[in-house]
A and B are shown apart, each in its own frame.
Chain A
Amino acid sequence: MDLMPSAEQDEITTTVASFLAARLPATAHASVFVTPGPEIDPVVFRECAELGWLSLGLPEALGGVGYGLAEEVMLFRELGRGLAPGGFLPAVLGARVAAFAGQRELAASIVAGEVLVALATRDRVGADDVSVLHAAEATLLVVCDAAGAALYSLADCTLTPIDPVDGSIRAARGALGGATVASVSSEIDPVFVRGLVLCAAMQAGSAEAQRDLGVAYAGVREQFGKPIGANQAIKHRCADMAVRAEGAFAQVCYAATAADGGADRFVDEAVIAKYFADEAARLNGEACVQIHGAIGFTTETLPHRHVWRAHTLARALAVRAALLDHLVPRT
């Protein structure tokens, strides 16, 4: 038993973080509520694809790099920490659906970053009504739940763009339509579990980033002649942020490793990871803005972008009530 990342896993963190800092730096994007142009520079997205980011956890036999979910977690944690734009999550999930459904060419074009995928979340269990992220440039849409996952053609769906809270992610709402392009059951590949864990990894990265932003500001901002972080009211908020961030990432690691090993109750572990990481990202966002005071309310610093992103990801794949109801069914 060892729940700390291996040297190779740490290496993924370092590589991804330095690429993001150079090519996709997180900025406050002052007063740009909806980023113009494509969500992510297609050239950069393809560079990421060439680095294997979209196929890290796909088996080599299916055209992937052949790592486990534990390695993919290290990548997605950095994407969350760095507020990376782009449909990385639906690309990874969509490629798996295509690959495990036997559509090797489609899978190859997704992992190459040529075919973009959007992420759909059903508004209710079994409903065709969906909320969609990364919708603008995508041609396919992936939707998944505990039973299985499917790809739809975006052109067959009825979607209306919305003005999103997080303007760095194009969002739409509407209904699924047409036949599935590809589908797999969760027995063949638990796509939903992977989605929960990777989304949780992004939220854990965001929770960590907010902890670090809050602590850094508390250490330099002075009032009454001393850094505000010397006051327990601030220090204790920071401590609570640290505990939530540690818990979120620890559970993501456990859930990823459990899923890789096919351990007992690995679905529950993933559900708990998503629930806890959503909460950690949300609560750390509230604490981080509060520590910053008025400046945290403006678009001139980063905290608000984490608030927007955490809010958005908490509505992807499964919301809080659905996650909790999975853990304690009524009957």
Chain B
Amino acid sequence: MDLTFTQEELDFREEVRTWLHENVPKEARPHGDRPDSREFDLAWQKAQYDGGWAGISWPADFGGRGLSTIQQLIWYEEYALADAPWIGACFVGINHGGPTLIARASDEQKSFHLPKILKGEVVWCQGFSEPGAGSDLAAIRTRGVIDGDELVVNGQKIWTSFANMAEYQELLIRTGDEQRHKGLTWVICDMRTPGITVRPISTMDRGAEFCEVFYDDVRIPLTNVVGQVGDGWSVAMSTLSLERGTGFMADILHATRTIDELIEECRHRRGPDGRPVLHDDEYARRLAAAKAEITVLRSITYRSISRNIRTGMPGPEGSMLRLQYGDLVMGLSRLAIEILGPDALAYVDRFRAGGWTGNWLRAFAAGFGGGTLEIQRNIIGERVLGLPRG
């Protein structure tokens, strides 16, 4: 066990810190209900590209920065400390669609799409979930029928973040007659194709990036299929996280900062009895427990990254991180609004100073985003602990 970084790594940290200090946007990211949020996200992605920091986890052969796992960890730690913006609309392209293309796409597909993603020229969205296929992804029914050199797609996707501002979609459809995981196809869908209707779904935190997408005889060239027709499940599952869990450090440090800010707030904010909130044992100790829990999450992440470096692959403990983090952010945001007292009656969006109520409303999404906490518990129970399936 060793917590030290090499001189080379320390120099790298300095380089990252300097660049972020000079380049992180001064203004806050607009909330999702503002039309300029897409332009903000793409401009920040382009700034990272111009600075040589786009695709830090992507291999250099594909235009990425190709950082080592430890360097990625350092990047994300500094990213959070510099208060750099949420990745927003660029999330799917950089963290999911792009890495899938790197793993499975043809050279032609890669050379067309990857540079656009890195340069912040396009937004990608994910077309996986359907009204009848949420936690049970293999139940998807949106169908693609081969007609000549095209797929003709009919059906519906839902919970598609940023579909209303995306150029491309990683679309998973049923093309064969087989059941469940067989007969699926992963295809690149141009969102400007005729027959696509996007309907935004507004969310309880006043977000406007959530959407449902309807496909009515949408014709997609077969050349857009990634991997083979019928091999879609394996393509979808091949998206091994290139980050190996390092991205979590930014979220953890962000939450750590939130707790520290809250503690400072409680030194002067007065509770119902007129005393500073911090003099109330209940709140002081709940804050301390939150501080302890986020610190432990940091340690789990460090151990997880260390394990990945040794074994060369991400382990199922990723589900442990998701579970612990989800529970923590929900509890933390609830604690914050309790402390806020009557000030919690006002809605303030989460990207603005004092945006505690926006944060609290957003935190509900931590219970299901990327897989419900119940599914994470199933994964831990079955794949880590070896308990029988239900």
**Chain A positions near chain B (C-beta within 8 angstroms):** 1-6, 9, 70, 211, 215, 218-219, 226-227, 229-232, 234-236, 238-240, 242-243, 246-248, 250-251, 253-254, 256-258, 261, 263, 268-269, 271-272, 275-276, 321, 323-325, 327-328, 330
Check B389–A256 contact: CB distance below 8 A.
no
Q: Looking at B293, B303, B323, which has the most chain A CB atoms within 10 Å of its CB? A: B303
- Which residues of chain A are within 8 angstroms of B382 by Cβ–Cβ distance? 235
The answer to whether B317 and A272 have CB atoms under 8 Å apart is no
**Is the pair A321, B285 in contact by a Cβ cutoff of 8 Å?**
yes
Given A215-B387, A243-B320, A243-B324: A3 and B302 within 8 A (CB)? yes
Say yes or no: B323 contacts A4, CB within 8 Å: no
Q: Does B12 contact A (CB under 8 A)?
A: no
The answer, yes or no, to whether B60 is at the interface (CB within 8 Å) is no
A227:B388 contact, CB within 8 angstroms: yes
A173 smallest CB distance to B (angstroms):
25
Partner of B288, one of A234, A239, A258, A324: A324
A239 touches B302 (CB 8 A): no
How many angstroms from the CA of A4 to the CA of B307 in the assembled complex?
Answer: 7
In contact, A325 and B285 (Cβ under 8 angstroms): yes
Q: Which residues of A contact B28 (CB under 8 A)?
A: none
Closest 5 CB pairs between A and B? A235-B381, A324-B288, A239-B380, A250-B299, A239-B377
Cβ A232 vs Cβ B374 within 8 A? yes
Q: Which residues of the partner chain A approach B289 to less than 8 Å between Cβ atoms?
A: 275, 324
Cα A215 to Cα B382 with chains together (Å): 11
Q: Is B73 in contact with A328, judged by CB distance below 8 angstroms?
A: no
Q: Which residues of A contact B299 (CB under 8 A)?
A: 3, 247, 250-251, 253-254
Confirm or deny: B122 has a beta carbon within 8 angstroms of a beta carbon on chain A: no
Taking CB atoms and an 8 Å cut-off, the chain B residues in 272-310 that contact chain A are 278-279, 281, 284-285, 287-289, 291-293, 295-300, 302-303, 305-307, 309-310
Q: Is the CB of A2 within 8 A of B296?
A: no
B388/A276 in contact, CB under 8 A: no
Q: Which of A5, A232, A250, A258: most chain B Cβ within 10 A?
A: A250
CB distance from A283 to the nearest CB of B (A): 13
Asked if B385 CB lies within 8 Å of chain A CBs, one says: yes
Enumerate 22 A-B pairs (CB-CB under 8 Å) in ascending A order: A1-B2, A1-B4, A1-B306, A2-B309, A3-B3, A70-B1, A226-B388, A229-B388, A230-B389, A235-B390, A236-B374, A242-B320, A242-B384, A243-B320, A246-B317, A254-B299, A272-B291, A272-B292, A275-B289, A276-B293, A323-B288, A324-B284
Q: Which of B1, B279, B378 has the most CB of A within 10 A?
A: B1
Shortest distance between the CB of A146 and any CB in chain B (Å): 16
Chain B residues 1-39 with CB under 8 Å of chain A are 1-5
Q: Say yes or no: is B386 at the interface (Cβ < 8 Å to chain A).
A: yes
Take A239-B385, A251-B299, A253-B303 as given contacts and tell me if A232 and B377 are in contact as well, using a CB distance cutoff of 8 Å: yes
* A-B Cβ contacts below 8 A, count: 154
Give the distance in Å from the alpha carbon of A250 to the alpha carbon of B324 in the complex: 13
Point out residues on B near A: beta carbons under 8 Å: 1-5, 70, 73, 263, 278-279, 281, 284-285, 287-289, 291-293, 295-300, 302-303, 305-307, 309-310, 317, 320, 323-324, 374, 376-378, 380-382, 384-390
CB distance B306 to A2 under 8 Å? yes
Contact A256 B1 (CB under 8 A): yes
Residues on the A chain within 8 Å of B377, using CB: 232, 235-236, 239-240
- Besides A219-B388, A236-B378, A243-B323, 7 other A-B contacts (C-beta < 8 A): A1-B4, A1-B73, A219-B386, A219-B387, A236-B381, A242-B385, A254-B299
Q: A227 to chain B: which residues have CB within 8 Å?
A: 387-388
What's the least CB distance linking B94 to chain A, in Å? 24
Is the CB–CB distance between A229 and B302 below 8 Å? no
Cα separation A268 to B299 with both chains bound (whole Å): 13
Interface centre among A6, A232, A328 (most CB of B within 10 A): A328
Q: Are B1 and A257 touching (Cβ within 8 A)?
A: yes
Contact flag A239-B3 (CB < 8 Å), given A232-B378, A275-B292, A276-B296: no
Q: Write out the residue numbers on chain B whose beta carbons fall within 8 Å of the beta carbon of A235.
A: 377-378, 381-382, 387, 390
The answer to whether A272 touches B320, judged by C-beta atoms less than 8 angstroms apart, is: no
Q: How far is the CB of B294 from chain A (nearest CB, A)?
A: 10
How distant is the Cα of A293 from the Cα of B162 in the complex, in angstroms?
Answer: 48
In contact, A251 and B279 (Cβ under 8 angstroms): no
Query: Which chain A positions have C-beta within 8 A of B1?
Result: 2-6, 9, 70, 253, 256-257
Q: Which of A219, A243, A247, A248 contacts B380 (CB 8 A)?
A: A243
A4 proximity list for chain B (CB < 8 A)? 1, 303, 306-307, 310
**Cβ distance A329 to chain B, nearest Cβ, rounded Å:** 9
* CB <8 Å contact, A230 and B387: yes
Query: How far in angstroms is the closest Cβ of chain A from B335?
Result: 12
Query: B3 contacts A247, CB within 8 Å?
Result: no
Contact A327:B291 (CB < 8 A) given known A3-B303, A236-B377, A321-B285? yes
